[in-house]
Structure 1
Amino acid sequence: MHTDSGDLVAALDIGGTKIAGALVDGAGRPRVRARRPTPAREDGATVMAAVAAVLDELARTGEWPLVRAVGIGSAGPVDASAGTVSPVNVPGWRGFPLVAEVARRVGGLPVTLVGDGVAMTAAEHWQGAARGRADALCMVVSTGVGGGLVLGGRLRSGPTGNAGHIGHISVDLDGEPCACGSRGCVERIASGPNIARRALEAGWRPGSDGDRSAAGVAAAARAGDPVALASFDRAARALAAGIAATATLVEIEVAVIGGGVAEAGDVLFGPLREHLRDYAVLSFASGVEVLPARLGSDAGVVGAAAAAAAEAGLWGLGSGTGEGTGGGTASGM
């Protein structure tokens, strides 16, 4: 076990638009960065070549000899127990053996895989808005809706690395079909593209900048547009129902929300907190605090590093300490 404060973790944050890499230190700081666009419409080998290019750039730095483990946070679904990924937005990867492919390239270092929502959760619990909280739900609300759980002070990623995936809790039993195959999922209502779609279908039109995204809807909502406000209110209700269900099931004390949609600020958080009072009514669920995430775009690499450090026993985050963010991740070795 390595515990020296100079130890680093190489971290990858893999999504449908970019592959970010960093060498992260024991204070959660990315010391070296690398980045490539994700060739999401290409075949699996081409996507892996982009991952390898990020790893190669990191490995060429003078700090690579300090790396003791590798962490990967990937768009999902992932299967940490098998070391495979099948991101919905990367069609070339279906059951792709990402852990084995990365392990081949990193000289025998242990490799840990978690879903991107779990990585964000690890980051926010280690260095962000959920720091010091024993029981938390952390969510990414963006193109999709993902999440992860901290229970009893530890990251609980589940056998396959997908626990806490709140985006696919159904909150509308007769709702619209979701891309996952179910109906009325939180993601189908609260993700950025669905906020924008619903506003456009209800008659909202973008302003002079032509921004048809959820950010454009948020700007209109801040200016008082009733259709834009209604679309964000609907998203907030879906999120509130999902958070309340989670609080009722596992007794969380805080829900941390990040991702692009969370940048809407009070347009989202105001109605979300109001609706949560309507849904989380039992005494043990009614005190859930809702907070914005703090780590922004670094959450993916910082969280992947935290998960790998916990598996490797680095920085006091090892699973044997009872205090870390580890647990439930898969090693490539």
Structure 2
Amino acid sequence: MHTDLVAALDIGGTKIAGALVDGHGHILIRAQRPTPAREDGDTVMRAVEEVLGELTVSPLWGRVTAVGIGSAGPVDASAGTVSPVNVPGWRGYPLVGRVRAAAGDLPVELIGDGVAITAAEHWQGAARGHDNALCMVVSTGVGGGLVLGGRLHPGPTGNAGHIGHISVDLDGDLCPCGSHGCVERIASGPNIARRALENGWRPGPDGDTSAAAVAAAARSGDPVALASFERAAQALAAGIAATATLVEIDIAVIGGGVGKAGDILFAPLRKALSTYATLSFVRNLTVAPAQMGTDAGLVGAAAAALAKRPDAAAAGV
């Protein structure tokens, strides 16, 4: 067994998580800080350095051979920079160089958070054993990543598989990205809730207007809530079918908060998929809920770091 470890960082708008991870995907040590998302870039970086600092003082640090980073995007892996939408202080921020300096010049691998979750699901979760897969995160936004030919396919800058910004409605609403009718504009949690409210759904006495509250209303038979989830499912089905038609994936894995809605999402999604994925080579496409939970970003970042090691093929990562 290989005794080397990798360090993993999962950087989002709410928290910065770090871990030491072994070659089987087991998390041995954790560290975490809240993301000071409204502060300047160097203040955010100090929180990252504090997380790394906690890891470097561990007696296990001497066995760490690389660092993997999964970051909210957009990321540019070719330049080593990040510009997360939800961290305004980081625009073209040289994260890879700063992390390398803080980690004692170890090799650093950067991928987007959607790609990180894809790496985790392929290594340990719902896409395990599938050589061609799309994994999606449907929550505040809609992100994703691809596995093609048995390998993670992040693309040159680390953003391949970003299904949230495929347009599925040519005359649809303007998306903040500048395009119209994007999957994210229809299927993200806030947009599911927005559409339900616009069409007359009203929250309960607690005033909760989240997508989870809409899902609860849909489960109790509220027609407006059901219709909002059906519309989201239709947008996801169109995006998944387009991806499958383009690159021949055989499974689509859906995680994130909206993915937790269960049959309220998956039943109309499977039905819609049967009308979009009609060609012979995409007809057997399956859809499954994600399995990796909140550690997916860390495990995926670790997988990306492990894949870059010289012995990666032997390790089967």
Give the counterpart letter for 1:75 in structure 2: A
2:40 — aligned with what?
A: 43
- One of 239, 251, 254 as aligned partner of 2:251: 254
Whether the aligned pair in 2 keeps the contact of 1:154 and 1:324 (CA below 8 Å) is no
**CA distance in 2 between partners of 1:190 and 1:306 (Å):** 28
1:63 — aligned with what?
A: 60
1:184 — aligned with what?
A: 181
**CA distance in 2 between partners of 1:77 and 1:27 (Å):** 29
Cα deviation, 1:50-106, whole Å, max 9, x if unaligned, reads: 111111111122211111110000011100000000111111111000000100001
SS across alignment from 1:184: coil
1:133 has 2:130 as partner? yes
**Residues 102-121 of structure 1 mapped to structure 2, 5 A cutoff:** 102-121=99-118
Higher relative contact order (CA 8 A, sep 6+): 1
Give the counterpart letter for 1:239 in structure 2: L
**CA distance in 2 between partners of 1:301 and 1:92 (Å):** 23
- State the Cα RMSD in Å: 1.2
Cα deviation, 1:264-317, whole Å, max 9, x if unaligned, reads: 111111110110001000010111100011001010000000001101235xx3
Task: Give the direction of change, closer, same or farther, for the CA distance of 1:324–1:118 in structure 2 (3 Å limit).
Answer: farther
**CA distance in 2 between partners of 1:283 and 1:250 (Å):** 14
- One of 301, 304, 308 as aligned partner of 1:304: 301
Cα deviation, 1:145-166, whole Å, max 9, x if unaligned, reads: 0000001100011000000100
- Residue 37 of structure 1 deviates from its aligned partner by 1.0
**CA distance in 1 between partners of 2:175 and 2:253 (Å):** 24
Cα deviation, 1:17-52, whole Å, max 9, x if unaligned, reads: 111111111111111111111111111011111111
**CA distance in 1 between partners of 2:245 and 2:72 (Å):** 27
1:329 — aligned with what?
A: none
Identity level (%): 75
1:229 — aligned with what?
A: 226
**CA distance in 1 between partners of 2:226 and 2:45 (Å):** 41
Give the counterpart letter for 1:16 in structure 2: G
Structure 1: give runs of 5+ residues left out of the alignment.
Answer: 326-333
TM-score scaled to structure 1, two decimals? Answer: 0.93
- Ranges of 4+ aligned residues in structure 1 off by more than 4 Å: none
- One of 89, 112, 117 as aligned partner of 2:86: 89
1:162 has 2:150 as partner? no
**CA distance in 1 between partners of 2:46 and 2:32 (Å):** 13
- One of 20, 24, 27 as aligned partner of 1:27: 24
1:330 — aligned with what?
A: none
Structure 2: give runs of 5+ residues left out of the alignment.
Answer: none
SS across alignment from 1:9: strand
**CA distance in 1 between partners of 2:10 and 2:119 (Å):** 13
- One of 146, 150, 153 as aligned partner of 2:147: 150
Whether the aligned pair in 2 keeps the contact of 1:15 and 1:38 (CA below 8 Å) is yes
- One of 5, 8, 17 as aligned partner of 2:5: 8
- Residue 204 of structure 1 deviates from its aligned partner by 1.0
**CA distance in 2 between partners of 1:196 and 1:151 (Å):** 34
**CA distance in 2 between partners of 1:42 and 1:71 (Å):** 24
Give the counterpart letter for 2:86 in structure 1: N
- One of 239, 259, 284 as aligned partner of 1:242: 239
**CA distance in 2 between partners of 1:207 and 1:24 (Å):** 43
Give the counterpart letter for 1:92 in structure 2: G
- Residue 209 of structure 1 deviates from its aligned partner by 2.7
- Residue 324 of structure 1 deviates from its aligned partner by 5.0
Whether the aligned pair in 2 keeps the contact of 1:221 and 1:267 (CA below 8 Å) is yes
**CA distance in 1 between partners of 2:191 and 2:300 (Å):** 27
2:212 — aligned with what?
A: 215
Give the counterpart letter for 2:218 in structure 1: A
- Residue 210 of structure 1 deviates from its aligned partner by 2.2
Give the counterpart letter for 1:30 in structure 2: I
- Residue 207 of structure 1 deviates from its aligned partner by 1.4
